[in-house]
């Protein structure tokens, strides 16, 4: 997808580019959904969409859902989400640093934000707050 097509699709979902003058071949376009305070960072290589970075909404009651195989990525507790994705046959590579990968789907999930999201009794984030979907083939969280 070109930058114009991608931004048009983001606009249809209620996201607006932070800089409407993003040019013909941007490296990245940041888009925000103002009501929910959800951000998308659209990544491009040679004018074509290569990755989408999604940052969890900051308004807890927001009418926003990021869905992966029928599961709400940002509302399903992180451990439960990974277990359910494994049950559905997806490979999940867990990382102690809070960055987990689903290499067959080319998805990375993280819950290491410093933003004020729900935490458990031990102070760890309950939900993921970041998802990356990429066209790049990778293995493991470091691409090795």
Domain ranges of the chain: 3-134
pLDDT, residue 63, reads 85
pLDDT, residue 61, reads 82
3-state secondary structure of 87: helix
Which residues are CB-neighbours of 54 under 8 A, at least 6 positions away?
A: 38, 39, 40, 66, 73, 130, 131, 132, 133
Give me the chain's average pLDDT, please: 86
- pLDDT tens column, 42-81: 999 988 999 999 998 888 788 888 999 999 999 999 899 9
pLDDT, residue 126, reads 77
Percent of the chain residues topping a pLDDT of 90: 53
Nearest to residue 74, comparing CAs of 50, 27, 109?
A: 109
Q: How confident is the model at residue 116 (pLDDT cuts 50, 70, 90)?
A: low
pLDDT reading at 94 higher than 80: yes
- pLDDT tens column, 11-42: 999 999 998 888 777 899 999 998 889 999 99
pLDDT, residue 140, reads 45
Which residues are CB-neighbours of 50 under 8 A, at least 6 positions away?
A: 43, 44, 134, 135, 136
Burial 35-59 (b: 16+ CB within 10 A, else e): ebebbbbbbbeeeebebbbbbbbee
H/E element holding 80? Answer: helix 78-87
Q: How many CB atoms lie within 10 A of CB 10?
A: 19
pLDDT reading at 144 higher than 80: no
pLDDT, residue 29, reads 94
pLDDT, residue 122, reads 75
Residue 49, both tokens = 């969409």
């Amino acid at each position: 997808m070109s930058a114009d097509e991608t931004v048009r699709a983001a606009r249809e979902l209620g996201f607006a580019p932070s800089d409407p003058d993003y040019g013909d071949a941007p490296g990245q376009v940041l888009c925000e959904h103002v009501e929910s305070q959800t951000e998308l960072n659209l990544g491009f290589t040679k004018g074509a969409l290569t990755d989408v970075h999604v940052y969890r909404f900051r308004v807890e009651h927001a009418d926003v859902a990021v869905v992966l195989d029928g599961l709400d990525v940002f509302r399903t507790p992180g451990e439960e989400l990974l277990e359910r994705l494994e049950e559905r046959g997806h490979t999940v590579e867990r990382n102690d640093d809070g960055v987990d990968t689903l290499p067959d789907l080319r998805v990375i999930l993280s819950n290491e934000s410093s933003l004020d999201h729900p935490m458990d009794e031990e102070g760890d984030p309950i939900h993921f707050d970041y998802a990356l979907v990429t066209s790049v083939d990778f293995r493991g969280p470091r691409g090795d």
